[in-house]
């Protein structure tokens, strides 16, 4: 079984400041890792994912996340946030075991609020 913990339920930051949203997971098997984002009044959409290879993955809008196997973490970072980054961010994992399907196990979400 897997579980995901997002350590901060709310993160308020000022525009152009750096931000880190923390995510830790627990699993008895290897997992794929994801960050999903839900902008106000919009549906949930994939931000970035780690499948294999380089442990640092990037999104098109400047976010990055680093997979740390020893610490079982997948923290999300951005060096300079914009007002438009205000959203709820969900960390999720899925099992690498093929016959367990691709069901996602989500954390409880972190509400990022960017203030001018």
Which one, 15 or 104, has the nearer CB to another protein? 104
Q: Is 109 an interacting residue with respect to another protein (CB under 8 A)?
A: yes
Q: Which helix (H) or strand (E) holds 67?
A: strand 64-68
CA distance linking residue 92 with residue 107, whole number of Å: 6
Residue 2 Cβ vs another protein, minimum distance, rounded to whole Å: 10
User: Cβ atoms within 10 A of the Cβ of 21, count?
Assistant: 24
Question: In the block, which residue shows the tokens 């914009």?
Answer: 82
Q: Which of residues 69-108 bind another protein (CB under 8 A)?
A: 90, 92, 94-96, 98, 100-108
- Contact residues toward another protein (CB under 8 A) are 4, 6, 31-32, 36, 43-46, 49, 51, 90, 92, 94-96, 98, 100-109
């Amino acid at each position: 079984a897997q579980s995901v913990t997002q350590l901060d339920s709310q993160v308020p930051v000022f525009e152009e400041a750096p931000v880190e949203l923390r995510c830790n997971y627990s699993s008895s098997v290897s997992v794929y890792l994801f960050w999903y984002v839900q902008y106000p009044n919009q549906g949930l959409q994939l931000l970035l994912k780690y499948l294999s290879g380089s442990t640092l993955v990037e999104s098109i809008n400047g976010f990055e996340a680093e997979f740390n196997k020893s610490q079982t973490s997948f923290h999300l970072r951005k060096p300079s946030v914009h007002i438009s980054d205000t959203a709820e961010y969900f960390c999720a994992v899925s099992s690498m075991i093929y016959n367990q399907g691709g069901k996602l196990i989500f954390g409880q979400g972190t509400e990022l609020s960017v203030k001018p």
